[in-house]
């Protein structure tokens, strides 16, 4: 589908936000000691992947028409890669030097990422509008897996936190608040009841995406940097 120039501009702004986020994340991350730099890896690739997805959408490649509505499949391609990386970043910060042995740690990471991937894939099925009536069933299945993700990061994972536990709690809070907006926006947007229109949906998604990816990554690397500084100062 051809997008309006406003819609294209909003998508380009999304791409630009991700590129700026990537630059800030790398600039802060370069100051970390070598053994802490791994905290930056996932955050960098999250914004890099999103910048590519936004470029695909802005150039008109990222959507297909299904039952007279555009479906931005590029969002789901982006999310299926970036949401596991965001969660991995969160869990690596929280579990780093914590009390979980590698078996428990890998189990927690596998559980959270597995549920998250199912959340995105079933959300894509809901969006594709192949059977209009079944759309809300798939939406409900996706919400179920989302609840599993939230349960794991607020429940089992917190038993094993290491020295970055305050940062973990802050990041988990930011993640929870921002991620809860996605299923609401889905209902208000063209995939759901079409209350806010396509341009409104693109605009709100762009803002939330930049916050949930670049903003989250910046808080993460800044938090690790400050923690390193206070331990070396002490
Ligand atoms: C969908 C619709 C079906 C129900 C649910 C959803 C949740 C999506 C989420 C997406 C998060 C995306 C992020 C992207 C990067 O910034 C698929 C919208 C529960 C939580 C954080």
Distance CA 188, CA 4 (A): 20
% of the chain exceeding 70 in pLDDT: 99
Please say if the pLDDT value at position 118 is more than 70: yes
75 lines ligand 1 (CB under 6 A): no
> How confident is the model over 14-70, as pLDDT tens digits?
999 999 999 999 999 999 999 999 999 999 999 999 999 999 999 988 888 888 888
CA neighbours closer than 13 Å in the CB half-sphere of residue 31: 13
Please report, to the nearest 10 degrees, the dihedral formed by the alpha carbons of residues 25, 27, 28, 33 taken in order: 120
Lookup result for tokens 């589908």: 1
Ligand 1 centre to CA of 190 (Å) is: 15
What separation in angstroms does the CA of 101 have from each of 97, 104, 105, 158? 10, 5, 6, 14
Q: Mark residue 65 as left, alpha or beta (left: phi above 0; alpha: psi -120 to 50; beta: remaining).
A: beta
Beta strand 64-66 with 69-71: parallel, antiparallel or unpaired? Answer: antiparallel
175 lines ligand 1 (CB under 6 A): no
Asked if 90 and 170 count as a contact pair (C-beta separation under 8 A), the reply is no
For helices 102-127 and 73-95, angle between their N-to-C axes, nearest 10 degrees:
160
Which ranges of the chain would DSSP assign to H, the alpha helix? 5-29, 38-58, 73-95, 102-127, 135-154, 165-188, 197-210, 216-233
pTM over 0.85: yes
Distance CA 23, CA 161 (A): 29
The predicted structure's pLDDT at residue 234: 54
Nearest protein CA to atom 15 of ligand 1, as residue: 209
126 lines ligand 1 (CB under 6 A): yes
């Amino acid at each position: 589908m051809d997008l309006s120039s406003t819609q294209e501009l909003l998508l380009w702004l999304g791409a630009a936000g991700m590129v700026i986020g990537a630059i800030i994340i790398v600039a802060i991350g370069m100051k970390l000691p070598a053994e802490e730099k791994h905290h930056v890896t996932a955050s960098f690739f999250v914004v890099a992947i999103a910048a590519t997805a936004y470029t695909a959408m802005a150039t008109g490649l990222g959507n297909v028409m299904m039952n007279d509505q555009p479906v931005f499949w590029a969002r789901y391609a982006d999310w299926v890669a970036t949401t596991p990386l965001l969660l991995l970043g969160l869990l690596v910060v929280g579990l780093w030097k914590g009390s979980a042995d590698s078996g428990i740690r890998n189990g927690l990471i596998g559980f959270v990422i597995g549920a998250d991937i199912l959340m995105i894939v079933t959300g894509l099925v809901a969006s594709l509008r192949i059977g209009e009536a079944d759309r809300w069933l798939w939406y409900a299945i996706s919400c179920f897996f989302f609840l599993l993700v939230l349960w794991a990061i607020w429940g089992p994972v917190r038993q094993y936190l290491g020295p970055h536990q305050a940062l973990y709690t802050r990041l988990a809070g930011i993640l929870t608040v921002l991620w809860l907006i996605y299923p609401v926006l889905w209902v208000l947007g063209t995939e759901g009841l079409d209350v806010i229109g396509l341009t409104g949906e693109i605009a709100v998604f762009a803002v939330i995406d930049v916050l949930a990816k670049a903003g989250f990554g910046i808080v993460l690397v800044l938090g690790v940097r400050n923690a390193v500084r206070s331990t070396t100062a002490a």
